Structure 1
Amino acid sequence: MTDRFRETYGPTALVTGASSGIGLAFAEELADRGFHLVLTARRTDRLDALAERLASSHGTRTTVLGADLGDPATPARILEATEGTDIGLVVSNAGFNIKGSFEAQDPAAMARMLTVNCHAPMQLAHGLIPRLKARASGGLIFTASVEGLIGCPHSAAYSATKALVVALGEALWGEMQGTGVDVLTLCPGATETEATAGMEGIANLQSPAEVARLALDNVREGPTFVPHAHYRTMFDALRARPRREALAGMAEGMRKRLG
């Protein structure tokens, strides 16, 4: 299975946001499966340390690219830097969230989130899909969120950015039929990352390593994939309810949690 996976999606994978959390877990899992890597993030010191560790443990060849995806020009720079690299798997993972009442959010922070969470994956996919199609094999994984499956009160801006990622991934899954390119939109629930560190009372946390492993195991099972059974059940039930009823119930539940 590992050899077949590497033959289809190797020899090199690009992972954005690889310095921590799910992105880091993707890098580790892919190295374990025999891939070479192109890793991007702002914190290149972390990437350099990761590259050294993976070289020692797996013989992985890693290219580190410092990349601030809050700059709209960064995707073009990544595309230029990877020209000529045989990338068979793209993991568009970088992103961040903003929680709380919508009107209380900083407009500049929301604009940056829109650039990182939406502009970057769209532009990277646009530039890399022709390369994947030319290979006639490969894959593209978008890290979205269960919060992209329905508008989530008190997470409005983040939920909206991930809804774009879900729609983008689903549409591209349809467009790539018959090309040999698989598209999976990954929709995790609560995950043990820097974003949840220190938060109390979060149930059903999933490890980044499990999220990454399950995503790679299911890359052919698009268009969307929720890696935790609890959140699959929860959001299937929410989306099956009348939308007004589901949103009102979610909003009331958040008001109670926030006091």
Structure 2
Amino acid sequence: MRADFADRYGPWAVVAGASEGLGAAFAHRLAGQGLNLILAARRARPLADLAATLPTHTIGVHADLATVEGIRQVVDAAQGRAVGLVVANAAYSPIGRFVELDPAESGRAVDLNCRMPLALAHHFLPPMTARGRGGFVVMSSLAGMQGSPPISVYAATKAFGAILAEGLWAELRGTGVDVVTCVAGAVATPNLTGVKSRPAPGTQTPDQVAAAALRGLGHGPRVIPGLAMRVSSALMSRLLPRRTAIAVIARASRDLSPPAATG
């Protein structure tokens, strides 16, 4: 299993947003499969601490992936290395009523949550298709399946990521390159703990979500980790009227509080 995974998605993987939580879970999972890692995040110390725990060769990139320069740093770190897997995990979520948000915060969410996976896809997918193998994971959220106050901007950006990944999955079928979007519900990360007063029903660990995302490669365009979240997704997207679905997510999110969460 390990050899097959490394042959298909190695020898190098890029994990964007890798300092802790879900990104760190991806790093441990991929290192366990024998992949060397390029880990990118804004915070240098957690990145270095994580790299020190991993058994494979690791390059840490201390960069703000919401900027053109930050993306360039990742691209430079990957120069000359055969990157066979990219995990677009970094995300930013401004919390609060839209009319009260700083436009710069909304812009940052778009830059990180939309432009980042788009830029990584443009850079890394063409070489993967030329080699005839590889994988690309875009982390999305159940929040992106309907309007989600008071995280309306975050939800909209997560809808973008999911739809982008599904389109790329269709375009790249038959090339040997697998694309999947992982549409996660609540994940017990330090960021969520910092902004939500109590865990949501069906909350999963970062390792559970990372494992589900990686298992989803090659098995369709979308994976939703956890039975409770799959049931919730079906209910919200297929059975409830749209205005009811929005009201449900608004109630579920009412205990969110600033400061904004980052990933």
The answer (yes or no) to whether the contact 2:149–2:253 under 8 Å persists in 1 is no
Distance in 1 between residues matched to 2:48 and 2:250, nearest whole Å: 45
Aligned to 1:28: 28
Bigger mean CA offset, 241-250 vs 26-35: 241-250
- Identity, % of aligned pairs? 37
TM-aligned CA distance change 1:195 to 1:256, over 3 Å: closer
Pick the aligned partner of 2:167 from 158, 171, 187: 171
CA deviation after TM superposition for structure 1 residue 244, in Å: 3.4
Show structure 2 runs of 5+ residues with no match.
257-263
TM-score, reference length from structure 2 = 0.90
In the comparison of the two structures, how many residue pairs are matched?
Answer: 254
Aligned mates of 1:12, 1:119 — CA distance in 2: 22
Equivalent residues of 2:38, 2:77 under 8 A apart:
no
Is the contact made by 1:143 and 1:186 (CA closer than 8 Å) also made in structure 2? Answer: yes
Where does the alignment leave 5 or more consecutive residues of structure 1 unmatched?
A: none
Which residue does the alignment assign to 1:210?
Answer: 208
The alpha-carbon distance between structure 1 residues 7 and 108, as it changes in their structure 2 partners (threshold 3 A), is: same
- Indicate the residue corresponding to 1:99 in structure 2: 95
Residue 153 (structure 1) aligned with residue 149 (structure 2): yes
Q: How does 1:22-61 map to 2 (within 5 A)?
A: 22-54=22-54, 58=55, 60-61=56-57
Shift of 1:76: 3.0
Alpha-carbon shift at residue 149 of structure 1 (Å): 2.0
Counterpart Cα distance in 2 of 1:254 and 1:34: 39
2:74 to 74, 78, 87: 78
SS at 2:135 equivalent? strand
The Cα offsets for residues 209-228 of structure 1, whole Å up to 9 and x where unpaired, read as: 11111211221123111112
Match of 2:185 among 184, 189, 194: 189
Q: How large is the RMSD of aligned CA atoms in angstroms?
A: 1.9
Counterpart position of 1:240: 238
**Cα pair 1:18 1:94 within 8 Å, conserved:** yes
Q: Per the alignment, do residues 233 and 44 of structure 1 end up closer, same or farther by CA in structure 2, a change over 3 Å counting? A: same
Partner of 2:138: 142
Report the equivalent of 2:218: 220
**Distance between the aligned counterparts of 1:257 and 1:47, measured in 2?**
30
Write out per-residue CA displacement over residues 66-86 of structure 1, whole angstroms, 9 at most, x where no aligned residue: 110121332233223312111
Q: CA deviation at 1:153?
A: 2.8
SS at match of 1:200: coil
Secondary structure of the 2:219 match is coil
TM-score by length of 1: 0.91
Contact 1:154–1:254 (CA under 8 A) maintained in structure 2: no
Question: Which residue, out of 197, 201, 207, partners 1:200?
Answer: 197
> Following TM superposition, by how much is the alpha carbon of 1:249 offset from its aligned partner in structure 2, in angstroms?
3.3
Give structure 1 regions of 4+ aligned residues with deviation exceeding 4 angstroms: 254-258
What are the residue-to-residue correspondences of 1:60-71 with 2, within 5 Å? 60-71=56-67
Distance 1:255 1:193 in 2: 16
Q: 1:85 to 1:119 in 2, by over 3 A?
A: same
Q: Does the CA-based 8 Å contact 1:153-1:250 persist in structure 2?
A: no
| Alpha-carbon contact 1:152-1:247 (below 8 Å) kept | no
Q: Is the 8 A contact 1:72 1:115 kept in 2?
A: no
